Amino acid sequence: MTAKVISFINLKGGVGKTTCCVNIAGEFAHSHKKVLVIDADAQSNTSILLMNPERYINDVLLQNQNPKASEDEIIAKTVYQIFLDAIEKKDKFDFDNAIITSVVNYKEKQSLPNLDLLPASFHLQELEQKIVTYKRTQYIILNNALKKIKEQYDLILIDCPPNLYTATMNALYASDYYVIPALPEKLSLFGIELLIKQLNEVIEIAEEESDKSVKLAGIILNNVIKAGNSRSGFINAHGTGIEDIEQKIFDFKEKGSIDKNAKVFDTMIHQRTSLREAASEFVPMCIHKPRDDSTSQFKKVCAEILKQIND
Ligand SMILES: Nc1ncnc2c1ncn2[C@@H]1O[C@H](COP(=O)(O)OP(=O)(O)O)[C@@H](O)[C@H]1O
Ligand SMILES: [Mg+2]
Q: What is the CATH number of the domain that holds 266?
A: 3.40.50.300
Concatenating the DSSP letter of every residue in 49-90 gives HHH-HHHIIIIIS-TTT-TT--HHHHHTTSTHHHHHHHHHT-
**Segment 13-42 mean pLDDT:** 97
Strand pairing category for 155-159 and 35-39: parallel
Over 90: is that where the pLDDT of 233 sits?
Answer: no
Atom of ligand 1 nearest to the CA of 222: 1
Classify residue 271 by its DSSP letter. P
Which pLDDT tens digit goes with each residue over 277-311?
A: 999 999 999 999 999 999 999 999 999 999 999 87
The confidence score (pLDDT) of residue 267 equals 95
The confidence score (pLDDT) of residue 250 equals 96
Helices 273-281 and 293-310, packing angle to 10 deg: 90
Which pLDDT tens digit goes with each residue over 143-200?
A: 999 999 999 999 999 999 999 999 999 999 999 999 999 999 888 989 999 999 999 9
**Segment 111-123 mean pLDDT:** 95
pLDDT band at 109 (very low <50, low <70, confident <90, very high): low
Over 60: is that where the pLDDT of 98 sits?
Answer: yes
| Average pLDDT for the chain | 92
* d(CA 42, ligand 2 centre) in Å: 9
Residue 269 Cβ < 6 Å to ligand 1: yes
Which pLDDT tens digit goes with each residue over 209-224?
A: 877 899 999 999 999 9
Ligand nearest to the CA of 161: 2
In 3-state terms the chain splits into helix, strand, coil percentages (rounded to 5) of: 50, 15, 40
The confidence score (pLDDT) of residue 40 equals 98
Domain interval for residue 286: 4-310
What one-letter code names the amino acid at 14?
A: G
User: 32-36, 129-133, 141-145, 200-204: which has the minimum mean pLDDT?
Assistant: 129-133
Cα–Cα distances (Å) from 137 to 6, 132, 227, in that order, read 21, 12, 49
The confidence score (pLDDT) of residue 152 equals 97
Ligand nearest to the CA of 45: 2
d(CA 56, CA 213): 34
Residue nearest to atom 27 of ligand 1 (CA): 276
Over 80: is that where the pLDDT of 238 sits?
Answer: no
Over 60: is that where the pLDDT of 134 sits?
Answer: yes
| Range among 111-115, 120-124, 135-139 rated most confident | 120-124
**Segment 122-141 mean pLDDT:** 86
> Please, what is the Cα angle at 208 between 204 and 214, to 5 degrees?
50
Which pTM value belongs to this model?
0.95
* Cβ(185)–Cβ(224) below 8 Å: no
Which of 7, 10, 19 best tests ligand 1's pocket when mutated (most atoms within 8 Å of CB)?
Answer: 19
| Beta carbons within 8 Å of 231's beta carbon, 6+ residues apart | none
| Beta carbons within 8 Å of 69's beta carbon, 6+ residues apart | 61, 62, 63
The confidence score (pLDDT) of residue 66 equals 66
The confidence score (pLDDT) of residue 137 equals 72
Task: Kindly compute the dihedral angle of the four CA atoms of residues 83, 7, 49, 185, in this order, to the nearest 10 degrees.
Answer: 130
Domains contained in the chain, number: 1
Name which of 204, 201, 199, 156 is nearest 180 in CA terms: 199
Cα–Cα distances (Å) from 198 to 11, 161, 166, 205, in that order, read 11, 15, 13, 12
Query: For residue 275, how far is the Cα from the chain centroid?
Result: 17
Is residue 215 classed as helix, strand or coil in its secondary structure? strand
Which pLDDT tens digit goes with each residue over 43-69?
A: 999 999 999 999 999 999 988 766 667
User: 34-48, 62-76, 251-265: which has the minimum mean pLDDT?
Assistant: 62-76
Residue 46 Cβ < 6 Å to ligand 1: no
